Structure 1
Amino acid sequence: MSSEKNRVIIIGSGPAALTAAIYTSRANLDVLCIAGYASGGQLMLTSEVENFPGFPEGIMGPELMGNMRAQAERFGTRFIEADASKVDFSGTVHRVWIEDEVYEAEAVIVATGASAKWLGLESEQRLVGRGVSSCATCDGFFFRNKEIAVIGGGDTALEEALFLTKFASKVSLIHRRDKFRASKIMQERASSHPKINIIYDTAIEEVLGETNVTGVKLRNLKTDEVTELPLSGVFVAIGHQPNTSIFNGALKMNESGYIEAVGGETLTSETGVFVAGDVFDFRYRQAITAAGSGCKAALEAEKYLEGLHSESEEALTAAN
């Protein structure tokens, strides 16, 4: 079984991964980015990004990711459009598999991100980026003076509903059960807010609209009554799932499956393996914070490799 040797392997292709690629490639390191089959991260599902610095008129999510990738390629990053299938970080040289092919590196940056949990409706997926969103702070601005809905019953759903009241004229908070799972203080804030309308015991059966969201079809789970609610946006807030399944047993994770960073920075439980982006940051989940952590991971990896090189030179000098 042959293997390809690199100095740095980056797993992922969102803002964190591509920023790490730009920095490590500019440092003249041999960089391979295993981008995955669905490359580009969650910004590939975002129609327009208005809060990434440097774009006063906004930029389409796929265009932003294309620009970042082109910049990484300009400095020499090589990309593979396939998913990593297995890893082994136990040795000094780290190994990553793509099916039967093995890729080795002295340093690895894990930036596989997290995926939003969806309702599983065809109409929902068809309208993602066209009124359906999983990020209030990313897309709330587009719904000024419009009626929208937030789906969920945990702290995140209530936080997003409260945040969206800054923009929307009305926020319908829709939950399948007869009470929220959120903390009491969040429940009190949501129930007392004049712009929030709470709908319990209700599930969304369909997101309405051809090219943009025009409403939702609701079913009351106790009475079985079906109604339609006209609105312009649907924010799904039922949680995120970190993309960490291939790292089970290889890296230390928290109870929710997010990779744990030593000291809150980018170091992981394994020497020479670094982490960046939403795969460990479950608090902010923004393109700019992911990019920032990608920069940190790259600088830490570069520093680590410099240390390895110095140790090798010292050992060689001592041997002679």
Structure 2
Amino acid sequence: MYKAIVVGTGPAGLTAAIYLARANLNPLVIEGTQPGGQLTTTTEVENFPGFPDGIQGPELMEHMRKQAERFGAEFRSGWVDKVDFSGRPFKIQIEGGEELETETVILSTGASAKYLGIPGEQDNVGRGVSTCATCDGFFFRNKRIIVIGGGDSAMEEANFLTRFASSVTLVHRRDELRASKIMQERAQSNEKVKWALNRTPLEVVTNENGIVKGLKVRNNATNQEELVEAEGVFVAIGHTPNTKFLGEQVQTDDHGYIVVKPGTTLTNVEGVFACGDVQDTRYRQAVTAAGSGCMAAMDCEKYLEGSMVHDWSGML
């Protein structure tokens, strides 16, 4: 039986594994189907402290993995099919039917960005297509950018990207936006933001060199196809937390994000902790995920040694 199992990698899970391993807790890390998380689909990472010249996303994750292994963390590839937190020890079933037992669990399964599923989109992720303005906006300085979406996150991303872009065109398939009135007003008052409403995205278009040159859309009023020219396409239609495998055994909010006690990584289940994007609806950055992974490991360690009471008081 394991003392601690970390479900999911990425900056949060790997940081938790490093801290647990250094505490001689010999954690098992279940990697899932995308070891390293969302950063493995990111090319250049320039805002992670300690890398003044930047670093490739997959390389950063490989460094973290090796660091965890160096201190004794064990890694297992596979997907968690279901968990049983109703009794002790906790039981985790991975694909193939194997059941693992553990005293504690750290959940760091992240959140997956929603995509449109149109041609050219996935092929160009990290090469002109992005889902994170904070992460990638700097790379589009003085270039034309398209933001796809009609909610608050799309308005926020569009406004943020005007710091770098020569222009930002907001594409939405309806005439009306879902965003709150104040967020719409902020975008509408920004002279760099242009509008392409009532247009359905059809394809991310590249030139003969494979470089993104725009977005093919259908004008829903005329039924004609148009090309909105841009060097970058940001998809801002939301994220989905990877929590379905939990069933209803851990408290989540209306969108499926794990609820933790503020200032901690404690969930409503004693001995189960959550870190990274799976419980973060606001920041979604590699450095904040890593920080919460450290918190989860320290909370877990103190719980195992009996010096911390898993206090859920005050939560809904």
Give the alignment's TM-score, normalised by structure 1.
0.93
- What is the CA–CA distance in structure 1 between the aligned matches of 2:172 and 2:295, rounded to whole Å? 39
Q: Deviations over 1:131-186 (max 9, x none)?
A: 10000000000000000100000000000000000000000001111111111111
Structure 1 stretches lacking a partner, 5+ long: 310-320
Q: Does structure 1 residue 102 correspond to structure 2 residue 99?
A: yes
- Give distance in 2, aligned partners of 1:220 and 1:39: 39
Distance 2:178 2:263 in 1: 28
Structure 1 or 2: larger helix share?
1
Q: For residues 57-108 of structure 1, what are the alpha-carbon distances to aligned partners after superposition, in whole Å with 9 as ceiling and x for unaligned?
A: 0000000001000100111111111001110112131111113111111110
Q: Which of 35, 41, 45 is matched with 2:37 structurally?
A: 41
Question: In 1, distance between residues paired with 2:156 and 2:107?
Answer: 29
Instruction: Give per-residue Cα distances to partners, 1:258-279, cap 9 Å, x unaligned.
Output: 0100235200010000000000
Q: Residues 130 and 211 of structure 1 are in contact (CA less than 8 Å); yes or no, is this contact kept in structure 2?
A: no
- State the TM-score, normalized to the length of structure 2: 0.95
CA RMSD in angstroms comes to 1.4
Q: Which has the larger radius of gyration?
A: 1
Cα separation, 1, equivalents of 2:287 and 2:307:
30
Identify the residue that residue 268 of structure 1 maps to in structure 2.
267
Q: Give, in whole Å, the separation in 1 of the partners of 2:52 and 2:265.
A: 30
What is the match of residue 110 of structure 2? 113
State, as a whole percentage, how many aligned pairs show the same letter: 58
Task: Quote the Cα distance in structure 2 between the aligned partners of 1:38 and 1:127.
Answer: 18
Which secondary structure state, in structure 2, belongs to the residue aligned with residue 96 of structure 1?
strand
Aligned to 1:134: 131
**Rounded Cα–Cα distance in structure 1 between residues aligned with 2:229 and 2:175:** 23
- Structure 2 regions of 5+ residues with no counterpart? 309-316
Alignment partner, residue 301 of structure 1: 300
Count residues in correspondence: 306
Is 1:241 aligned to 2:240, yes or no? yes
Secondary structure of the residue aligned to 1:123 is coil
1:190 is aligned to 2:192: no
C-alpha distance in 2 between matches for 1:212 and 1:241: 28
1:314 maps to what in 2?
Answer: none
The residue type equivalent to 1:177 in the other structure is R
Please report how far the alpha carbon of residue 308 of structure 1 lies from its aligned counterpart in structure 2 after TM superposition.
8.1
Partner of 2:288 in structure 1? Answer: 289
In structure 2, the partner of 1:157 is: 154
Partner of 1:259: 258
Aligned residue for 2:311?
A: none
- Aligned counterparts of 2:50 and 2:256: Cα–Cα separation in 1: 33
Structure 1 residue ranges, 4+ long, deviating more than 6 angstroms after superposition: none
Partner-residue secondary structure (3-state), 1:218: strand
- Distance in 2 (alpha carbons) for counterparts of 1:190 and 1:159: 8
